[in-house]
Amino acid sequence: MSERPGRRLSRRALLTTAAATGAVAATGAAAGGVLLADGDATPSATSVPASTEPFHGKHQPGIAAPQQRHALFAAFDLETTDPVKRTRRSAEQLATVFGTLMEQWTLVTANLMAGREPGLRPAGSPQAPADSGVADGLAPARLTLTFGLGPELFERIGRADRRPRALEPLPAFENDRLEDAWCGGDLLVQICADDAQVLSRAFRTLRSRTPGSARLRWTQQGFLGAFGDATPRNLFGHKDGTANPRPGDTGFDAAVWADPAAGPAWFTDGTYLVFRKIRMDLPKWDTSPAHVQDQVIGRRRDNGAPLSGGHEFTTPDLTKTGPDGEPLIPADSHLALVRDIPMLRRSYNYDYGIQGTAEPTETGHRHAGHDHGPGMPAHSGSGHDRYDSGVLFCAYLRDPEQFVRAQRRLATDRLNAFIRHTGSAVFAIPPGARPDRPLAAGLLSAR
């Protein structure tokens, strides 16, 4: 099958998409409505709501933009079996399925982020409304959608030679307690907005384009308080993201955007996302002495300042000692172990409450090799082992190896006594989309 150079989004291409994709069209995965295709004018500034973030650009949205209050992460896998013929799809057929889905998602995303209707729903019941209506009357609430590609996708669609060189499955880490249900995926979408209902509508709209093309693998949802310009706090009460590089600051580009010299060319202006679901033992944390909590993190909870003194953004002094001659910032504190590894943390809190089933754990969430220690009480029973809350750790970075290096250092982290990693995934985040081309267009263009 010949490839479509550039995968240009014209009206003609969209009208012929269903015929080109064969079995996908038979299952109703036809492209949705079109805005900003060839010949269409970009909306004027006066017609775009003030609560919007731009979609088209050099980089994808939802990375350098200020964090919104709500987030949803959803991973999908391509459907490897044709739902009509019940035959296994070839790599080229999967490439076509992938390309068509990205065209649909690109069009929907451009519309939703601009505050417009998402476009026609794929073929289905003729009586079904075009949109859920759940966000009717609501502003876009700074909605952003960011898409990623998993390590196994490239070989699956016959493009192993185009996989970004730094994109490899993450290795096993000493303190991992991962559950398969919350790991991996061919495709990722990060949806963020300041309104949870707008978020829900965007997810439902994307999911409605997937039958016959992709199946949902896992979802996670998170939230942040209304901190304004201040650093958000995690569920331990500590500020999370103090050391983040800031857009426009020296070093932001070098920390976040992939090295263009590393290739491939189509991935220039892309980045990588490491996603980790980290469960927190909040009952144990909440009943630990305040000074123990601060020493675990290496910062004061009230103002985020390093224990060596100053304010939140004061450079930590790891050599400064107290009256007892011991370092004020413990060498095995979280701050001391990761302070010099650059990455953009864009994490969210989650609190799912008591789950119907629970991963087998020891009393009080003990971790192998980590005792509770002095001043750290254990908890037994009372549903603590079934209560699932913590942080959805999201790190955008130039190379996932930066995270691997940090995580290996954290094997001795005091924080391990209060957390466990239960979900994990890594994705290549393609560059931003042009108005006439879908996301990841260069991946499928003629070689």
Catalytic residue IDs: 240
Residue 60's Cβ-count burial label (10 Å; 0-12, 13-18, 19+) is buried
The DSSP code sequence of 224-243 is ----TTSPPB-TTSSBS-TT
Q: Are 115 and 140 in contact (CB under 8 A)?
A: yes
Which phi and psi angles does 275 have, rounded to 5°?
-115, 130
Q: Are 407 and 341 in contact (CB under 8 A)?
A: no
Distance CA 348, CA 179 (A): 19
Q: Are 394 and 346 in contact (CB under 8 A)?
A: yes
Distance CA 79, CA 133 (A): 28
Residue corresponding to tokens 């384009």: 209
Q: In DSSP terms, which residues pair with 222 in a beta bridge? A: 71
**3-class DSSP state of 420:** strand
Consecutive H or E run containing 284? helix 282-286
Distance CA 212, CA 79 (A): 7
- Taking phi over 0 as left and psi of -120 to 50 as alpha, with beta for the rest, 217 belongs to alpha
Beta strands in 1-106 (DSSP E): 70-78
Residue 184 CB contacts under 8 Å (≥ 6 apart), including other chains:
75, 150, 152, 217, 424, 425
The DSSP code sequence of 91-124 is HHHHHHHHHHHHHHHHHHHHHHHTTS---PPPS-
Maximum CA pair distance of the chain?
Answer: 76
Give the β-pairing of 271-280 and 344-345: unpaired
Question: Which is nearest to 423 in space by CA: 240, 284, 218?
Answer: 218
Q: Are 309 and 320 in contact (CB under 8 A)?
A: yes
